[in-house]
Every structure is written in structure tokens, then in C-alpha cells.
């Protein structure tokens, strides 16, 4: 069953059935009205339904599950009653931050559990008792094995960024986690896309779910202006420097490339050209990654060069440009990458560098997003095709 987004559905948070305490937190967050996915999903979650929420990146899916989840936990004993599974450490801390923001008016406690950092602080938080655990699957399994996390009394399970979790090969871990959760529970699944693997996951873990889908499945964020720069592979770094040094790309710029090695090299080349940049990828230590992200978020560093780990879900407000130094291999990933910019109605530009061997991939992306991306020829860089 699919619920179309109808114009007559509630347009204010007040009308959704959330408790006054939660409404206070929403007001404090400065949200004046629910986003379409929130409008549709929140009443269903409050009614106890299993929900599949599909909406493009940046449409407010986190609050769509967190707000009704908090409402449902408002009364009751302190024990782990809700679990949110997320694919990456970065997303895990980001969802935790959102939960903290929305729980600010309540006494509900939240802890995040992810790899690459010490166990003890997480164990301490879990021992002290938390209502909501936000976790990546691998580290959570460690805690379950040690007995420091317990899910026997869990009431609510959220699979966030489900497509990404499956992309990252987490299906077996998710399986092992869910095996420890009571079958009698409410399960929510949120995803930007619904490939067959996600459908299979939903069939396995959700009971009679309602599908809430906002917008077309593969729609690119509509406030983003796209452009493709034809450029030979060997001239990409020069083009990047040129764009960053000129008016075309002022502001905060997120650069995506294919490999960790390339990310480091690009960041170094930018530094050589006098442009401060940080690299974000899986080979850097957790603290180096956090520091890079912090510096980028605070504006201390204007350019972040990232591999796929930063691709989905990261909410860094104020990104003005996303530059695909390499064309994403999967057309769907293009949608996710440019979802970093143009979030919550801001505008942004998405530039894609296209070498001759990437022309076919760009054409495929254009088919998926059902939109032609204008070619922009930069004098001295174009290879004359595309
Ligand atoms: P998604 O998970 O769909 O990619 P997020 O949940 O990360 O998106 O939300 C994207 C941004 O939109 C966040 O900065 C969030 O604070 C903001 N946001 C969420 N809901 C609202 C709302 N109702 N009004 C204004 N901003 C919102
Ligand atoms: Mg999200």
C-alpha cells in the first residue's frame, strides 16, 4: 500500500498528533512546518504501523522517524526500547545529534555506538541506561556479544539509510542484530532508493508495512544546478584548482573522488596551490575523520575531499558546491552525492568532471535522473567532446 502525498494532509506539526513536549522541541529547532515525508510518516508511526519511508536525501527523514519514536517512548521504564541502525560512524553521530536535539524537552536518554573508538565510554553509557541506541551494526554486535547491550525488550527498530547499509554489505550483521530483537516490535525502514535488495529486507523484517513515498524514486534534489565539465583525466586537478580559485566555486565545497589515494593526492595538490583542504576517507583514523568533518562544518576548512564513505546522509548545512572529481560508478550515487548540497531548500551547484572514458556513465546518470545535464566548456580544459 502506498500513501500518495495529498495536499489535504496536515500542514502543521500541531495537527500530526505529537505530544506538546515534542512540539516544543520542534519549535526550539526552528522548524515551522513538517516536510512531506514527515507529514505522511509521523501519523502512521504514531499509530504503531510499520513504515517504509522513501524520499530523496535532505528531505528530513531523520525527524520523520525520530519525532514519533520519542513520542512513543515518552512514558515508560528506562531501558533500551528503540534502536536506530545506520551505515557509517558519521551518520551514527549525526542521527544521535538529531535525537539529542529533538529529545531536549524530555528525560529520554540516547547513546551512540560505532566502531573505531574505545569501548569503555559506550559501555558506560549503555550501563547507565539509555532509551534509544543509535548504532552501526558491527560495533553493536560486539556489545551484544559482551552483554553490554541488550535488545530483549526492544519495542522499536529503525533501519536508516537502508540502501546504503546493504551497499556496504551489512546484510549479515543486520540479520544477526535483528535475531536478538523481539518479533513483536514496530519496524521502520528509511531509504533514498528502493532497489530489490531493500525490498527483500523490508519483506523480511517489516510486518504489513505502509509505504510512504515522496517524489520520484531517483529524483535529484530539485534546487541543485547541475553542470558537466568535459576534461581529460590528466587535467582534472588543474580544472579543480581553477574552479576553486575563481568565482565559480566560492563557499563550502565537497569534492568526491573514487579512491582514498586520490582523495589524499587531491587534498595535497590543493594545499600546494594554497587552498586549504581536508581529506575524509576510511583509511584515516576516527579522530582524524572527526576533526576533518568538524573543521569543514565550522568553516575553518572550505574544501573537503571525500570518498564514498561521506556520500550519503551526511548533513552538513551550507554546502554550496559538490564537485564530482570522478563520475560516480552507480547512477544512483550521483543522486546521493548531489543530495549533499541543496538540502532543505538551500540552493547549490553540482559540477561533474567527465573524462572521455566517463561519457557513457554520465549518459546513464542522465537517463536515471531523467534530465540532461548541461555541458560547460572551460577554455583550456575541454577535450572537445561530450
Ligand atoms: P534525510 O535523512 O532525508 O537525508 P535529514 O533528516 O538529515 O534528511 O534532514 C536534512 C535537513 O533538514 C537537516 O538539516 C534538518 O535539520 C532539516 N529539517 C528536517 N526537518 C525539517 C523541517 N520540518 N523544517 C526545516 N528543516 C528541517
Ligand atoms: Mg538520513
Task: Answer with the residue of higher pLDDT: 297 or 241.
Answer: 241
pLDDT value of residue 381: 81
pTM summary value: 0.65
Average pLDDT on 165-180 reads 93
How does residue 244 score in pLDDT terms, banded at 50, 70 and 90? Answer: confident
Report the nearest-CA residue for atom 20 of ligand 1. 60
Pocket of ligand 1 (CB under 6 A): 31, 34-35, 38, 55, 57-63, 313, 315, 317, 343-344
Phi/psi at 15 (5° precision): -85, 0
Average pLDDT on 351-361 reads 92
What confidence tens digit (pLDDT) does each residue in 188-204 have?
999 988 888 888 899 89
The CA-atom distances, in angstroms, between 127 and each of 100, 107, 130, 157, 235 are: 19, 17, 8, 20, 54
What confidence tens digit (pLDDT) does each residue in 96-109 have?
999 999 999 999 99
What confidence tens digit (pLDDT) does each residue in 258-282 have?
998 999 999 999 999 988 898 888 7
What confidence tens digit (pLDDT) does each residue in 322-331 have?
899 999 888 7
Question: Taking the mean position of all CA atoms in its chain, how far away is CA 207?
Answer: 25
pLDDT value of residue 73: 95
Q: What is the DSSP string of 5-35?
A: --TTS--SGGGGT--HHHHHHHHHHT--S--
- The alpha carbons of the chain give a radius of gyration, in whole angstroms, of 21
Q: What is the DSSP string of 120-169?
A: HHHHHHHHH--SEEEE-HHHHHHHHHHTSS--TT--EEEETTHHHHHHTT
Whether 344 shows a pLDDT value over 50: the answer reads no
pLDDT value of residue 154: 95
pLDDT value of residue 222: 53
- Please give the number of the atom of ligand 1 that sits closest to the Cα of 313: 4
Task: Answer with the residue of higher pLDDT: 315 or 237.
Answer: 237
Whether 364 shows a pLDDT value over 80: the answer reads yes
- Please give the number of the atom of ligand 1 that sits closest to the Cα of 56: 3
Neighbours of ion ligand 2 (CB under 5 A): 61, 313
Domains along the chain with CATH numbers: 2-214 (3.40.50.300), 224-369 (3.40.50.300)
Amino acid at each position: 500500500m502506498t500513501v500518495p502525498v495529498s495536499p489535504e494532509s496536515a500542514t502543521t506539526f500541531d495537527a500530526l498528533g505529537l505530544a506538546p513536549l515534542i512540539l516544543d522541541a520542534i519549535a526550539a529547532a526552528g522548524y515551522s512546518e513538517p516536510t512531506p515525508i514527515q507529514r505522511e510518516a509521523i501519523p502512521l508511526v504514531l499509530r504503531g504501523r510499520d513504515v517504509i519511508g522513501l524520499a530523496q536525501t535532505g528531505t528530513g527523514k531523520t525527524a520523520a522517524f525520530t519525532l514519533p519514536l520519542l513520542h512513543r517512548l515518552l512514558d515508560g521504564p528506562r531501558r533500551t526500547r528503540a534502536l536506530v541502525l545506520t551505515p557509517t560512524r558519521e551518520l551514527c553521530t549525526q542521527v544521535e545529534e538529531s535525537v539529542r536535539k529533538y529529545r531536549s524537552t524530555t528525560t529520554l536518554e540516547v547513546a551512540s555506538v560505532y566502531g573505531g573508538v574505545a569501548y569503555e565510554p559506550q559501555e558506560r553509557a549503555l550501563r547507565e541506561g539509555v532509551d534509544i541506541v543509535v548504532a552501526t551494526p558491527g560495533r553493536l554486535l560486539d556489545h551484544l556479544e559482551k552483554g553490554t547491550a541488550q535488545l530483549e525488550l526492544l519495542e522499536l527498530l529503525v533501519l536508516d539509510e537502508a540502501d546504503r547499509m546493504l551497499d556496504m554489505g551489512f546484510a549479515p550483521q543486520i540479520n544477526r542484530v535483528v535475531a536478538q530483537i523481539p518479533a513483536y516490535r514496530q519496524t521502520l525502514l528509511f531509504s533514498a532508493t528502493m532497489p530489490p535488495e531493500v525490498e527483500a529486507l523490508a519483506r523480511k523484517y517489516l510486518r504489513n508495512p505502509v509505504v510512504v513515498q515522496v517524489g520520484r524514486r531517483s529524483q535529484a534534489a530539485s534546487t541543485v544546478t547541475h553542470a558537466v565539465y568535459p576534461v581529460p583525466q590528466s587535467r582534472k586537478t588543474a580544472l579543480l584548482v581553477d574552479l576553486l580559485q575563481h568565482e565559480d566555486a566560492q563557499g563550502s565545497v565537497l569534492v568526491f573522488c573514487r579512491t582514498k589515494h586520490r582523495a589524499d593526492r587531491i587534498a595535497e595538490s590543493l594545499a600546494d596551490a594554497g587552498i586549504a583542504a581536508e581529506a575524509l576517507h576510511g583509511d584515516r583514523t576516527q579522530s582524524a575523520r572527526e576533526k576533518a568533518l568538524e573543521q569543514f562544518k565550522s568553516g575553518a576548512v572550505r574544501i573537503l575531499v571525500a570518498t564514498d564513505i561521506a556520500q550519503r546522509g551526511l548533513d552538513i548545512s551550507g554546502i554550496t558546491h559538490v564537485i564530482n572529481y570522478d563520475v560516480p560508478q552507480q547512477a544512483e550515487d550521483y543522486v546521493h552525492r548531489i543530495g549533499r548540497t541543496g538540502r532543505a531548500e538551500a540552493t547549490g551547484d553540482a559540477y561533474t568532471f567527465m573524462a572521455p572514458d566517463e561519457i557513457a556513465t554520465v549518459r546513464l546518470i542522465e537517463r536515471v535522473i531523467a534530465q540532461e545535464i548541461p555541458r560547460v566548456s572551460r577554455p583550456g580544459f575541454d577535450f572537445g567532446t561530450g
